[in-house]
Amino acid sequence: MKKFAAISFALFIYTIMLISPCYVFAQDTEDYFSFTASKEDVLMNDEIRITVTANELGMNESIAGFRLNVEYDSSKLTLKRVDTSSQIESGTFRYHIAGDTMTGIYVCDGTAAPQLTGECMTLIFRVNDDAIFGETSVSAQIDQVVDWTAKQLPSVSSLTSVFRITPEFTKEAVLTKLVPSQGTLEPEFDPYIQEYSLQVGPEVEQILFELEAADGGTARVNRKNLGKQGSTTQFIITVTSSDKKNKSQYTVNVTRGEKIKEESNSKSSTSGRGKTSGLAKQTTEEGIDDETLHTDTIFYGDRNLYIVGNQLPSYFVYIIVGGLGVCMIGIVIIVLVVRKKKK
């Protein structure tokens, strides 16, 4: 009977959390939980730990369940696992990863709601060995906190932590020469400066480097091809000491230029020239000499009438002829009427 009650309670809590929208309470919220990150500067393959701590004010409430949402860049970080303390019994916290998002739900076992105190959960990430150097972030939020009676508590706890992925460096493994096949490094090369930028033209598709390592060490580059025009490609140069015990990494961010498109006005001028030549061709076919081509403009209301050479538009000729015809008919009628009156 107790097992049936526990299962029923867990299903009830899960249902509430899944169908409830994520929102912030209008009333004052309490931070029942807080987050802390292990470190900010990390190297490739380093571990990042984000610890979830239940605060003391939560001791006044019996927290029976909550939802945890975590967002991160999966191209740079991998969530390896979630460790829970003994307060959270096995099987009461489950999570699912989809792309760059992890969603987890905690529901107590249904027989009692433990008092969560101190560190209760740790998210363990690993920096990918092909991660691009620079900043990345992890955002975590706990909401939908409910008590033993399934009442939702006014609590939303969140954290956004920024990490900087930096190249590995040891004095035993350094470059003494770094010369690109195109462009100029910014800043100027120095064995103890690890990050550089480089600008090249849109026609450049590959970059090669002339490398030398100190004390008989070796150096290799991770690529030679550039991305598409207008993009930035990161080159990673790994230096290994002669005894193979130490490594350093240098980065060169190469920005490939983009071809400038022709101005639209050059197209319109070309189009204009096409129209002019078409007009000249048309008048030539009608028997008018191109060299004596003359254009007059007549303003008629808000419209313009263009008269080319000695030609009038056909409709304009019809209007004049019609008007003259009406005048002639009017004059004839007047003359006939006058003669009739005299008789």
Q: pLDDT digits over 285-301, tens only?
A: 444 444 444 444 444 44
The phi, psi pair for 272, rounded to 5°, reads -65, -40
Provide the domain count of the chain.
3
- The answer on 141 and 113 residing in a single domain is yes
Place of tokens 């959960």: 121
- Asked if residue 268 belongs to a domain, the reply is no
- Asked if residue 29 belongs to a domain, the reply is yes
- Asked if residue 31 belongs to a domain, the reply is yes
DSSP string of 115-179, one letter each residue: ---EEEEEEEEEE-TTPPSEEEEEEEEEEEEEETT-PBPS--EEEEEEEEE----BTTB-EEEEE
- Asked if residue 277 belongs to a domain, the reply is no
What range defines the domain where residue 312 resides? 295-343
Q: Report the predicted TM-score, pTM, of the whole model to 2 decimal places.
A: 0.59
- The pLDDT tens digits for 213-254 are 999 999 999 999 999 999 999 999 999 999 999 999 999 999
The phi, psi pair for 176, rounded to 5°, reads -110, -10
- The answer on 343 and 246 residing in a single domain is no
- The answer on 113 and 234 residing in a single domain is no
Q: What torsion, rounded to 10 degrees, do the Cα atoms 326, 332, 337, 343 define?
A: 180
- Asked if residue 262 belongs to a domain, the reply is no
From first to last of its 343 residues, what are the pLDDT tens digits of the chain? 444 444 454 444 444 444 444 433 333 456 789 999 988 899 988 999 999 998 876 555 678 899 999 999 999 999 999 999 988 888 899 999 999 999 999 998 877 778 888 899 999 999 998 888 899 999 999 999 988 888 888 878 899 999 999 888 888 899 999 999 999 999 999 999 999 999 999 999 999 999 999 999 999 999 999 999 999 999 999 999 999 999 999 999 999 999 887 654 555 545 444 444 443 344 334 444 444 444 444 444 454 544 444 555 565 566 777 777 777 887 878 877 777 766 5
- The answer on 192 and 160 residing in a single domain is no
- The answer on 198 and 158 residing in a single domain is no
In the three-class reduction of DSSP (H, G, I as helix; E, B as strand; rest coil), residue 100 is classed as coil
Question: How do strand 157-165 and strand 41-42 relate by DSSP bridges?
Answer: parallel
- The answer on 18 and 112 residing in a single domain is yes
- Asked if residue 38 belongs to a domain, the reply is yes
Of the residues 137, 165, 193, the one at which a domain ends:
165
- The answer on 302 and 202 residing in a single domain is no
- The answer on 322 and 199 residing in a single domain is no
Report the amino acid identity of residue 323.
G
- The answer on 310 and 243 residing in a single domain is no
- Asked if residue 331 belongs to a domain, the reply is yes
- The answer on 312 and 249 residing in a single domain is no
Domain containing residue 198: CATH number: 2.60.40
